[in-house]
């Protein structure tokens, strides 16, 4: 079966221009990451998890997750929580912020989320999960999607029982990461479950888990009948993976390209988070971008020890002087102006 990854598809009325979705990842999926993903061909990008309780209480940092730029759309903003009414309120805020899709997290396995009754815990509480989806879909006019795992325990098939119920409650799309919450990210994603879920529902299903190459993406789409694939860890500090999956372009980027993309990402993140928050946040990205044999390990470690962002930029330019010209071209091609659709306190952005 021939699969065209550039073929558009829909979630409700929202047209998505490619069959590649950039995953929502906590501590990763900031606006800079999403905008970069769209430039490299992701048809849909997703925010990291947003706490509905944080939105309900007007927490400034949580509200900052609702900063949306026009060039990252179509965009899904993902919310998590356990109370239907509070989730519905959060969904309305997400819609007002300009999101194209409200995504509900029923898959996060992290204890600080599951202990509140949210995330993957809801896979075992089908009635509550159904009430949440019903409340959210009734509260907004944009489509509602749900991301889930196979179940809490290894070997669980709970997703197959729950999935159709969520569609009946109003979900316009489902994303399945067919690992258990107990597995976290170990072992392999069992996409035979994805194929079964596709056969049970009449809405698009997105296949998530172990999508790290064009051949893998094509195989999963062909064998499951899923509408799209979701890429997560493979794209961390490596947007070129998206290009390889979409177009088969396996050429390694030059050192100049890598440094230019990293510095652009640094500048966009500082603008979004402010320099103080961004300084610590960015450190994990240095090894992600500069790894894979692109730069020596000692160089990556050196960057994490530098005291300021300006020092990091200067050291990167010293290592790849030609990156200045690549960066100038990238910045020139970026849309001018940032279409912030939600009026939030400027302190969230560090003055940006």
Which residues lie across from 149 on neighbouring strands?
177
Residues serving a catalytic function are 108
Rounded CA-CA distance 237/303 in Å is: 15
The candidate with the shortest Cα–Cα distance to 107, out of 76, 136, 147, 77, is 147
DSSP string, 103-163: EEEE----HHHHTTT-GGGGGG-HHHHHHHHHHHHHH-SS-EEEEEEEESSTT--HHHHHH
The candidate with the shortest Cα–Cα distance to 245, out of 44, 103, 42, is 42
Contacts of 326 (CB under 8 A, 6+ apart): 256, 257, 259, 260
What DSSP designation does 293 have?
Answer: T
Per the CB < 8 A criterion, the answer to whether 198 and 217 are in contact is: no
Rounded CA-CA distance 80/107 in Å is: 10
Rounded CA-CA distance 209/145 in Å is: 17
Count the Cβ atoms, other than its own, within 10 Å of residue 281.
16
Residue for token pair 């998530």: 208
Q: Which two tokens stand for residue 209?
A: 């888990």
DSSP string, 205-233: EEEESS--SHHHHHHHHHHH--SEEEE-G
Rounded CA-CA distance 284/269 in Å is: 13
Query: CA dist 232 to 15, 20, 77, 131, Å?
Result: 21, 11, 15, 28
Contacts of 310 (CB under 8 A, 6+ apart): none
What DSSP designation does 82 have?
Answer: S
DSSP string, 310-332: HHHHHHHHHH-TTHHHHHHHHHH
């Amino acid at each position: 079966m021939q699969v065209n990854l550039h073929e558009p598809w829909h979630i409700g009325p929202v047209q998505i221009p490619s069959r590649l979705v950039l995953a929502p990842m906590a501590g990763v999926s900031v606006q800079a990451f999403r905008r970069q993903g769209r430039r490299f061909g992701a048809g849909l990008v997703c925010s990291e998890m947003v706490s509905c309780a944080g939105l309900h209480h007007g927490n400034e940092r949580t509200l900052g997750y609702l900063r949306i730029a026009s060039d990252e759309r179509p965009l899904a903003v993902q919310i998590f929580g356990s109370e239907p009414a509070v989730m519905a309120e959060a969904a309305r805020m997400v819609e007002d912020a300009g999101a194209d899709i409200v995504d509900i997290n029923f898959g996060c396995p992290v204890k600080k989320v599951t202990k509140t009754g949210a995330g993957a815990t809801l896979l075992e509480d089908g009635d509550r999960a159904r009430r949440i989806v019903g409340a959210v879909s009734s509260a907004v006019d944009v489509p509602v999607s749900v991301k889930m795992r196979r179940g809490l325990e290894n070997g669980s098939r709970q997703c197959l029982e729950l999935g159709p119920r969520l569609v009946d409650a109003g979900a316009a799309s489902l994303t399945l990461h067919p690992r258990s919450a107990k597995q976290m990210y170990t072992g392999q994603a069992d996409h035979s479950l994805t194929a079964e879920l596709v056969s049970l529902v009449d809405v698009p299903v997105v296949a998530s888990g172990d999508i790290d190459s064009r051949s893998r993406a094509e195989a999963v789409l062909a064998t499951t009948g899923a509408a799209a694939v979701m890429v997560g860890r493979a794209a961390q500090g490596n947007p070129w993976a998206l290009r390889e999956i979409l177009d088969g372009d396996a050429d390694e980027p030059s050192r100049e390209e890598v440094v230019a993309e990293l510095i652009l990402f640094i500048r966009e993140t500082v603008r979004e988070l402010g320099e103080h928050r961004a300084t610590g946040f960015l450190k994990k990205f240095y090894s992600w971008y500069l790894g894979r044999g692109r730069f020596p390990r000692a160089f990556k470690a050196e960057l994490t020890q530098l005291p300021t962002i300006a020092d990091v930029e200067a050291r990167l330019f010293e290592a790849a002087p030609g990156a200045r010209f690549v960066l100038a071209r990238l910045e020139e091609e970026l849309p001018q102006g940032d279409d912030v659709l939600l009026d939030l306190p400027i302190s969230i952005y560090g003055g940006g």
